[in-house]
Structure 1
Amino acid sequence: MLIRPAQSDDNLAATSLVFLSGPVAFEHIFNRAHGPDVREFLGAEFAKSATMFSYRHHFVYERDGQVIATIGGFDKPSHDGTFIGNAKAIFTQYGLRGIAKGLLFELRLVKPPRKGCYYLCHIAVNPQWRGTGIAAQLINFMDARAVELGYPVLSLDVAELNAGALRLYQQMGFKIVKRNKSYNSVLDNHLYMEKSLDGVL
């Protein structure tokens, strides 16, 4: 078992996992009727450095040489630093429709990280390895990373109907701070959760 920073050439293995972290939302925002298949888009952006989907913001869980899980991490400055890259990539592939959908999703359901938080995203485990504690290991790893970086709070968003993930996060000390009601029948309501970190002065 190895948790390590993602590399650009992890894109093929990591793309399907990142997609699994929010398939309904990804399909809604990056609709293939207006651009490439979302997995193609995510794979290309994972291998680059400019957007929030980049390998630079992700860690992978490797077992026997295979990437079987992913997790992303941002603070407010690193997330804000991807804004222009995100906009350019989305506009190039999906036009103004993609920009509008992405902005609405971020303004209404999954908002940018707040100051003082280390935010987790794209938490996904290969279906064959679910239920083996890998997601908890990844979160614990990021917990330690956030403490090392001096952040007092770990945060994330989860679809309200994702009962398994919600249960895990609550078991790991995350508490629901806000419920963001969906503005679209395709998308679930989302819960914003935070966890106070020990070891941060």
Structure 2
Amino acid sequence: MKIAIRQARPTDAEEAAPLLIDANGDITKRITGETDWKQVEQSLCELFKRDDNLHSYLYTYIAELDGKFAGIMVLYPGEYEAEFDKNLSEWLRKKGATNFDIDSEALPGELYIDTICINPTFRNVGIGTQLFTYAEEIAKQTGYTKIALNVEIQKESALRLYKRLGYEIVSPWTIIGEPFHHMVKII
């Protein structure tokens, strides 16, 4: 069993989009301006193939297990968020979305883990842990001393995992009106 992690390519969109939906649920409706799940998936594919937003292949890493698409991680510098959220809001406005406000998720100075999701077929074999380790390697290579993420307060098992990995709750956060914990790991 060999796990490899690589930079995503635009051609990964169709395999990545369902994992983005799995990990982010209704948030994906908000960031795509769609209500039908098929349309959400198609819009995520469109965003994934572009280079002007945080859901782009440029900020996504693919985990492969024995050459098969096994999971994804969306990871970006917090200081990129304001510009790319503006781009996403403009895209939503042009689409005619009724809500094009984007909630901030990261702070400048943080390398932010937006999403980690493992294909259900490949869960519980250590891929998620490998992706977290990879995020730390990228942080070190790019000079970041903080890696951050947000977790819904009711997701107690995820909270325990993140604490075990060295993340600490630093502040409350709100995304789409829902309460989250903002967690940071110092590298």
TM over 0.5: yes
* Percent identity over paired residues: 22
RMSD of the TM alignment (CA)?
2.2
1:102-157 CA-partner distances (Å, limit 9, x unpaired): x3xx1xxxx34222211111111112222222111101101111011111111010
**Structure 1 portions without partners, runs of 5+:** none
Report what 1:155 is aligned to: 148
What TM-score comes out, normalization by structure 1 length? 0.82
How far apart are 1:28 and its partner, in Å? 4.9
Contact (CA 8 Å) 1:178, 1:191: kept in 2 or not? Answer: yes
Which of the residues 79, 86, 90 maps onto 2:81?
79
Contact (CA 8 Å) 1:57, 1:72: kept in 2 or not? Answer: yes
**Secondary structure of 1:179's aligned partner:** strand
| In 2, Cα distance between equivalents of 1:92 and 1:21 | 26
Aligned residues, how many? 185
Which of the residues 4, 7, 17 maps onto 1:5?
7
Structure 1 runs of 4+ aligned residues shifted over 6 Å read: none
Counterparts of 1:146-185 in structure 2, within 5 Å, are 146-180=139-173, 184=177
Instruction: Judging by fraction of residues, say which structure has more strand.
Output: 2
What TM-score comes out, normalization by structure 2 length? 0.88
**Structure 2 portions without partners, runs of 5+:** none
**Secondary structure of 1:37's aligned partner:** helix
Please state if 1:44 is matched with 2:46: yes
Report what 2:116 is aligned to: 123
Report what 2:184 is aligned to: 194
How far apart are 1:34 and its partner, in Å? 8.8
| In 1, Cα distance between equivalents of 2:146 and 2:5 | 21
Contact (CA 8 Å) 2:79, 2:109: kept in 1 or not? Answer: no
Contact (CA 8 Å) 2:27, 2:176: kept in 1 or not? Answer: no
Instruction: Name which of structure 1's ranges 23-32 and 140-149 shifts more when overlaid on structure 2.
Output: 23-32
Contact (CA 8 Å) 1:175, 1:194: kept in 2 or not? Answer: yes
